Structure 1
Amino acid sequence: MNSADILIGIDAGTSVIKSVAFDTRGRQIAVASVRNEYRTGAGGMATQDMVRTWCDCAQSLRVLAEKVPGLAERTLAVSVTAQGDGTWLVDAENRAFTDAWIWLDARAAPTVRDLNGSYLSRKRFEATGTGLNACQQGSQLAHMAKHEPALLARADCAMHCKDWLYLNLTGVRATDPSEACFTFGNFRTRRYEDSVIEALGLTAHRSLLPDIVDGSQVAHPLSVEAARMTGLKAGTPVSLAYVDMVMTALGAGVHTGEEGVACSVIGSTGVHMRSVAADRVYLNPEGTGYVIALPIPGRVTQVQSNMAATLNLDWLLNLAADLLTSAGLTSNLSDLVPKVDQWLAQSPTGQLLYHPYISEAGERGPFVDAHARASFVGLSYQHRFPDLVRAVVEGLGMAMRDCYNAMGPLPNELRLSGGAARSPQIRAILAASLGASVRVSAREEAGAAGAAMMAAVANGIYDSMDACIADWVSPLLGDVEAAKAELTSRYSDLFTEYREVRESLSGVWGRLVSQQHPSSSEYSKSQVSDSDQRSASELKGAKE
């Protein structure tokens, strides 16, 4: 008799790798987390040890086994997702010979500028639906081809993080339709497209790209070596899930069958997504954002992502903590986070403008500007700290609306995920910023759940992803919270002012950055510290 009753979803983030056990109807049983590390360096370098990342992944499964009795015998299937973008190279023997360039790496920025100036740039965008930036594998491979050809001469396959972990779990080289197509293919066909590869200048390196495999339809057995390292049984089916952004959206409710629904993850960064039919995608004139396939026939997610979301709140609260400490009053970020709702309640609506571009990497959605910087507009002597807190949160709402504007019509309903969604005041501000109702998912580990859902469909527990969503996602969505009409009206006016100021400041940002960093005319630093990744403003709940 088969006693297998557990699905494991692996979610390998930039700084934390999680393995999560679910029962076959989506109930979370246990989670195991292992910290992952990355290094930053000169010129925007951000790399990760590939072997260490695999070992950390295997360790997370061993830790999970300590929490779930009989895990190996009870595991029906495993699925793996991970951080998106980046370049994970292997040689002909499937061995890592260099550190991975991860999504935070900015070394390819000059190459992106050159590629975006090509006459083929718009054609590439119309196929992929995705704006080119330095974090993507296509940009990074193009940069390596020009500046570090020895790397590509030794490489036999270019993978993403989840692909690398899948290789170690199964011995199979593969990538999934989501990352393959927003980087090198066409979101309509879910296949590589030669014109895109040509636009990136990578025709000579086409052989580096692995086969595309849909993990909701195909699984491969866990290898004997991987079984030894993880403690699971050899032969256990393993699915290659889609990229973590899409898996998180899937688990949090981006697609439950209704039109006009969107999903935003408000954590250190802000990720804004909507599910649309592939033939109804809006490709904006600026050529920004992502179009990423969903594991549902004919459906994709349109994505725009802010470089910094709650990091803006971290900055302000850390500033307050520093002032309190200097006055002899011991305080830190964790002490101040619970007071945010109180400060929001004390401040009037829409009195200040704040542009939340606090990241040193500038902004990437819905516009790309490495020099973009945060600012308050409209300060007077009468304003106090609660007014600044409200302005920062309203700025997050304006940035979110800016992103959804670039994807077509504003949504009617917003599903929120991330730690900030736990705040009633923040939810109300975000809802009114879009004029949309809000629902919050009770799903704790949405990314791992999305991955496990892939395995559930691949192994016949459900005959379709829509059927799986009905059990795993819809029941966990909270009550509808309607946007307040008077707040919506004020924020509609505020957004007009927000955009006007944002567009007028673009030239100023560049001049300020060049003055701050006179030795580097190409300054476009893209580094997020490990402490940022663990920021307390994620309210102990957002995805790392």
Structure 2
Amino acid sequence: MALNEPVAVCVDAGTTVIKAVVFDAAGRELVVAHRDTAVRHPRPERAEQDMDEVWAAVVGAVREAHQRTGAPPVRLLALTAQGDGAWLVDRAHRPVRPAVLWNDARAADLVRRWRADGVLERAFRRNASLTNAGLPNAILRALAVEEPDALAAAHAVLTCGGWLYLRLTGVLGLDPSDASAPWLDLRGAAERDAAGGNAAGRGGGPAYSDELLAAYGLTEHRELLPPLLTGSDRTAPLAGDAAEALGLPPDTPVVLAPYDIVTTALGNGTTAAGQATCVLGTTLCTEILVDQAALDTDGEPAGLTLDFGAPPLLMRAFPTLAGTGVLDWTVELLGLRDHAELSELAARVPPGSHGLRVLPYLSPAGERAPFLDPSASGLVTGLLFTHRREHLARAVLEGLAHVIRDCLAAAPHRPAELALCGGGAASALWCQLIADVTGVETVTTEDSQVGAKGALVFALTALGDHPSLSSAAAALVRRRRRCEPSPEAREVHDRDHAEFLATRELAASRWTGWRADA
């Protein structure tokens, strides 16, 4: 690449790793720089991050990536980040306290009360999202009791993406994908669209719902909700102080892409209604695009529905609390090197793992998709003296695949294929196993950093280089591997899935009492 050829720098700010990726004009990865970020647990069920440390990690990753590429001209800086949680700032735009993350469980008891009182179901009928303990409405209510001084000092509640966009541009606001759950009335938007509203169907754009705020008991904290960033608001020039820190020219266009579970889908080429993606990361997030006109809020409450500013598309997402953290736990438990060795062990065992099964609900926050139970916990069944490490390795991978199948069953449509991404997609065995368990062909792309690629797809569409997300994805996303379901394995996994669901139903009858006494 010539040194004078402009590049795009895309930041994917995950929960534990910040990645800065430099792409050339054809959308090929040139350099990837990483910075680890610390998640602190002041109590076992709590998860927090230092907001300034997250910003410093972004600065370090971007500077390294740009310099390693030879410091070429930068056409744009695009940003996607972890979602949910509560990142509080004061009027000077400084952190009020550490960020409370999406996997924090301090509000678990509150969510249980909301469910018992019907609050969760009433809210789902309006915004098609099922509140969990890691969403900002639950966290704000918990902080109002535990830390009223923090809320009194706060000027706005942001997410990670909103915090980083503020540091980069000085613009305070919230992306619609971050605001959808729990603040936006998506059913009302669909109804207005059906009645002949504007092209976006929202009378000029999405808006916060006072009805939902009242349902959550947060009316008095309405002023904490920052402006919604829509259309051109999601692009702003890089501020001078941020430019100096990053080593980039001032006024470089900064594009705020949707939060990471949406952006990873775009990076996989999931841009049309009916297409689906599953992120094999810290959360297993199974998601499918739907047309706003087909939004159904009358069924069983489950998952999240996200408006990401591409009407008439909405994202139905089922982000579990079970994910690659379960693999990390298994690697440590078995004394293995890494996930690759775990896959090598699992490959030695046939489908079904000789009767060993794992319910992989290991998060202290329980589970949030496709069902909600803050008390959910893991379970191993069928264990015999004849089972070895390789059986447990395979049973864990199969258990997580059954979670994905469970999420697909809750989705509004069965997809023809499931695009996989995230760290887990590096395992060819797991990709094949997911195809076998779900009965859906799985595909992966050439990119190692699918979230960053999705931010690029979104940014180039926002800046007018492509007329639509679909055309941008067609030009930038390249498929690599396909796995077709094995008919022989399907028979085994169909039987095992029925047992998986039956075992979970039996275990659920004891979860609440056990966790409450722990």
Structure 1 and Structure 2 fold alike (TM over 0.5): yes
1:250 aligns with 2:266: yes
**1: CA distance between counterparts of 2:405 and 2:298?**
15
Amino acid paired to 1:160: T
In the TM superposition, 1:257-296 aligns within 5 A as 257=272, 260-283=274-297, 285-296=299-310
1:303 aligns with 2:317: yes
Inter-CA distance 45–419: structure 2 relative to 1 (3 Å threshold): closer
2:397 is aligned to 393
**Superimposed CA distance per residue, residues 476-517 of structure 1 (whole angstroms, 9 cap, x where no aligned partner):** 1124332112222332222112111110111233444456x2
Deviation (angstroms), 1:452: 2.2
2:463 is aligned to 459
**Superimposed CA distance per residue, residues 289-321 of structure 1 (whole angstroms, 9 cap, x where no aligned partner):** 111224422112211122223333443443332
Inter-CA distance 62–287: structure 2 relative to 1 (3 Å threshold): same
**Superimposed CA distance per residue, residues 20-79 of structure 1 (whole angstroms, 9 cap, x where no aligned partner):** 1112331112122222223211273322222222222222222122212233xx111112
**2: CA distance between counterparts of 1:218 and 1:319?**
44
- Alignment equivalent of 2:229, drawn from 213, 233, 245: 213
**1: CA distance between counterparts of 2:502 and 2:25?**
50
**1: CA distance between counterparts of 2:114 and 2:351?**
46
Amino acid paired to 1:344: A
- Alignment equivalent of 1:416, drawn from 417, 420, 429: 420
Q: State the SS of the aligned residue for 1:416.
A: strand
State which drifts further: 384-393 or 9-18.
384-393
The answer (yes or no) to whether the contact 1:347–1:386 under 8 Å persists in 2 is: no
State which drifts further: 339-348 or 29-38.
339-348
The answer (yes or no) to whether the contact 1:175–1:240 under 8 Å persists in 2 is: no
Q: State the SS of the aligned residue for 1:70.
A: coil
2:238 is aligned to 222
Inter-CA distance 381–227: structure 2 relative to 1 (3 Å threshold): closer
Amino acid paired to 2:262: V
Deviation (angstroms), 1:216: 7.0
- Alignment equivalent of 1:481, drawn from 474, 480, 483: 483
Inter-CA distance 513–8: structure 2 relative to 1 (3 Å threshold): same
1:505 is aligned to 507
Inter-CA distance 234–290: structure 2 relative to 1 (3 Å threshold): same
Amino acid paired to 2:59: A
1:75 aligns with 2:74: yes
In the TM superposition, 1:11-410 aligns within 5 A as 11-42=12-43, 44-71=45-72, 74-187=73-186, 188=189, 189=202, 190-214=206-230, 218-255=234-271, 257=272, 260-283=274-297, 285-321=299-335, 332-334=336-338, 337-338=340-341, 340-341=343-344, 343-349=346-352, 351-410=355-414
Deviation (angstroms), 1:361: 2.9
RMSD: 2.4
Deviation (angstroms), 1:195: 1.2
Inter-CA distance 218–304: structure 2 relative to 1 (3 Å threshold): closer
- Alignment equivalent of 1:445, drawn from 435, 446, 449: 449
**2: CA distance between counterparts of 1:392 and 1:284?**
34
The answer (yes or no) to whether the contact 2:352–2:496 under 8 Å persists in 1 is: no
Q: State the SS of the aligned residue for 1:41.
A: coil
**1: CA distance between counterparts of 2:391 and 2:48?**
39
Q: State the SS of the aligned residue for 2:390.
A: helix
Q: State the SS of the aligned residue for 2:279.
A: strand
1:490 aligns with 2:492: yes
**2: CA distance between counterparts of 1:45 and 1:120?**
24
**2: CA distance between counterparts of 1:315 and 1:47?**
20
Which blocks of at least 5 consecutive residues in structure 1 are unaligned? 322-331, 518-544
State which drifts further: 272-281 or 499-508.
272-281
1:529 is aligned to none
State which drifts further: 165-174 or 180-189.
180-189
1:536 is aligned to none
Deviation (angstroms), 1:260: 4.2
Amino acid paired to 1:207: E
The answer (yes or no) to whether the contact 1:185–1:193 under 8 Å persists in 2 is: yes
1:534 is aligned to none
Which structure's relative contact order is higher, taking Cα pairs within 8 Å and 6+ residues apart?
A: 1
**1: CA distance between counterparts of 2:429 and 2:170?**
48
The answer (yes or no) to whether the contact 1:24–1:461 under 8 Å persists in 2 is: no
Q: Structure 2 length as normaliser, TM-score? A: 0.89
Q: State the SS of the aligned residue for 2:482.
A: coil
Inter-CA distance 484–232: structure 2 relative to 1 (3 Å threshold): same
**1: CA distance between counterparts of 2:65 and 2:427?**
30
Inter-CA distance 44–383: structure 2 relative to 1 (3 Å threshold): closer
Inter-CA distance 341–215: structure 2 relative to 1 (3 Å threshold): farther
**2: CA distance between counterparts of 1:425 and 1:383?**
20
Inter-CA distance 203–512: structure 2 relative to 1 (3 Å threshold): closer
Percent identical across equivalent pairs?
Answer: 33
**Superimposed CA distance per residue, residues 251-281 of structure 1 (whole angstroms, 9 cap, x where no aligned partner):** 12333x4x54321122343111111112223
**1: CA distance between counterparts of 2:258 and 2:330?**
35
**2: CA distance between counterparts of 1:49 and 1:224?**
23
**1: CA distance between counterparts of 2:51 and 2:390?**
44
Q: Structure 1 length as normaliser, TM-score? A: 0.85
**2: CA distance between counterparts of 1:154 and 1:381?**
58
Deviation (angstroms), 1:381: 4.1
Deviation (angstroms), 1:339: 6.0
**1: CA distance between counterparts of 2:263 and 2:352?**
35
**2: CA distance between counterparts of 1:482 and 1:377?**
29
